[in-house]
Amino acid sequence: MLKYLLKKTIKTDEGYKRYQLLWLPLRILLILVMYLVVYRQFGLSSTFYGMVIGSSIPLVMHLIWLFRLLNNPKRLNAARLRLTDERRKIVEQEVWAHIGWIMMLLTTCLMVSVLCLGSIQLNVYPFIGVVYAMLIYRWVKLRK
C-alpha cells in the first residue's frame, strides 16, 4: 500500500485511483494537525476560525473534484496521463527553477538591504502576495 505514495509507481487508472485515495486521508490528517497547532497557539480566536474556514473551503472543493474524478473513467484517465506525462514534468521542473531563481533574488535583495540598513522590519502580507504570485505563475504555465 505504501508504494502508492509515490507518483512514479502509477501505471494504470486503478493505480492513480489508489494513489488519490491513499493521499486523501493523509491530507485531511495534515489539515487537522494544522488546526490543532493553531488552536493551541491562538485558542478560539478569529485567527483560528479564519484558518479553519480558509482551509476548509479548498478541502471541500478538493473532495468534490476527487469524487467527480473517481466516478468518471474519462476524467480519471486524463488526470493520470496529466500526472505521469514526461513533457509536463520537464515544464514543471522549469517552472520551479524559475520560481527558485526569483526566490533567490528576493533573498539576496533582503540580505543586502539588511547589511546596508541594519535591522529592518518586514510585513508578512507582501510575502503572502509573493506566494500567491508563484502559485498563479505555476498554474498559468501548467494549465495546458
The residue range of the domain holding 131 is 86-144
Q: How many domains does the chain have?
A: 2
pLDDT at 7 over 80: no
- Of 39, 64, 84, the residue that ends a domain is 84
pLDDT for position 104:
93
User: Are residues 57 and 12 part of one domain?
Assistant: yes
Please give the mean pLDDT across all residues of the chain. 84
Radius of gyration of the chain (CA): 19
22 and 48 together in one domain:
yes
Q: Identify whether residues 72 and 6 lie together within a single domain.
A: yes
Q: How far is CA 79 from CA 5, 31, 65, 91, 129, in A?
A: 16, 24, 11, 17, 29
The predicted structure's pLDDT at residue 8: 59
The predicted pLDDT at position 105 comes to: 92
Residues 99 and 69 in one domain: no
Dihedrals phi, psi of 45, to nearest 5 degrees: -115, 180
Which cell numbers hold the place of 28? 485531511
pTM of the model: 0.59
84, 100, 118 — which closes off a domain? 84
Over residues 34-44, the pLDDT tens digits come to 889 888 888 88
pLDDT of 116 higher than 90 = no
- Same domain? For 93 and 49 the reply is no
Residues 126 and 80 reside in one and the same domain? no
Q: pLDDT at residue 1 above 70?
A: no
- Residues 103, 92 within the same domain: yes
